[in-house]
Amino acid sequence: MEFTSIQQMLEETSSSGLPLWDAIRQADCQRQGISPQQSWDKMATMLQAMEDADRSYQETDRSHSGLSGGDGGKMARYIRAGKPLCGPFLSEVMAGALRMGECNACMKRIVAAPTAGACGVLPAVLLPYARQFQAEADRLVEALYVASGFGMVIAARASISGAEGGCQAEIGSAAAMAAPALVHLQGGTPEQMANACAMAVKNLLGLVCDPVGGLVEVPCVKRNVIGAMDALSAAQMALAGIESRVPPDQVLDAMREVGQSLPHTLRETGKGGLAATPFGLRYTPKEVDKR
């Protein structure tokens, strides 16, 4: 079974009596023809890979282009210096997003969630959450199922490709996956998870994909930070009982329409937006070859 709407997921969990994460796992088992334990083991491996990537971060690592590296370490030092502007938890989330984005740019092993360019959002909220609230690994695996279920619907109904839908389809999708995962960890309802997903998408609707030099580095790494903050704010609004006035599936339909409306220069071609600034043009393949 593949879910093609958020409403379908909500109806499935209601009719089956299963928690949403387990309804999503059962759908995964049917789709892949595997047992629940095999599915669980695969998802646990994803969590382990996120943790390993976070631990493997080295501040001294630099990407081949020289555009990325070291910012995760700068944020960590700023936190240790005391009284960070956003408080210790949010600051750790920011640092985690930077670390993971830089790991991707430096060609380390990461989890595409849903893409490599957006790989920092989910681990940046889940791993600091686990440390802050002493969440067990099993709860984090459940949260990954929730994230994957919403990601499945986004991919089917809109897009997770920057080339197809702009960065709203990458960082926006990652935030829309992370937000309901956080709601799950906080004991929220499936309806609150759906609203968190919708609000996260709406907050980044229309975000363009304009990578400098066509590389998944600038502004991609720092947009992972924004995606993580978006997920946290959407989750907290949903947990407070705030709802998306536009139904979640209609939000995703709007996301698809907006992505299709973006000019090709703002869909991962490296020809518009920040990529077309004087700084960005210095990193076009032609100019790089001249150095």
Q: In this predicted structure, what is the pLDDT of residue 90?
A: 97
2-37, pLDDT tens digit by residue?
A: 899 999 999 999 999 999 999 999 999 999 999 999
Strands (E), 46-85: none
Q: In this predicted structure, what is the pLDDT of residue 273?
A: 98
Q: In this predicted structure, what is the pLDDT of residue 284?
A: 87
Q: In this predicted structure, what is the pLDDT of residue 285?
A: 77
How much of the chain, in percent, has pLDDT values that exceed 70? 98
The answer to whether 64 touches 195, Cβ cutoff 8 Å, is no
pLDDT at 288 over 70: no
Dist. CA 131–CA 264, nearest whole Å: 41
204-238, pLDDT tens digit by residue?
A: 999 999 999 999 999 999 999 999 999 999 999 99
133-142, pLDDT tens digit by residue?
A: 999 999 999 9
Confidence of residue 1 (pLDDT cuts 50, 70, 90): confident
Give the mean pLDDT of the chain: 96
pTM: predicted TM-score of the whole model, two decimal places: 0.96
Q: In this predicted structure, what is the pLDDT of residue 58?
A: 97
- Pinpoint the alpha helices (H) of the chain: 6-16, 20-32, 36-55, 71-80, 87-105, 121-133, 137-157, 162-165, 171-185, 190-203, 220-239, 248-261, 278-281, 285-290
The answer to whether 69 touches 100, Cβ cutoff 8 Å, is no
pLDDT at 52 over 50: yes
Q: In this predicted structure, what is the pLDDT of residue 91?
A: 98
Task: Calculate the alpha carbon distances from 110 to 27, 56, 71, 124, 170 in Å.
Answer: 25, 10, 18, 12, 15
Over residues 177-183, mean pLDDT? 98
DSSP bridge partners of 209: 267
Q: In this predicted structure, what is the pLDDT of residue 291?
A: 44
The structure tokens listed for 204 are 């980044």
pLDDT at 178 over 90: yes
Confidence of residue 286 (pLDDT cuts 50, 70, 90): low
How much of the chain, in percent, has pLDDT values that exceed 90? 96
pLDDT at 289 over 70: no
Residue in the block written with tokens 């197809």: 164
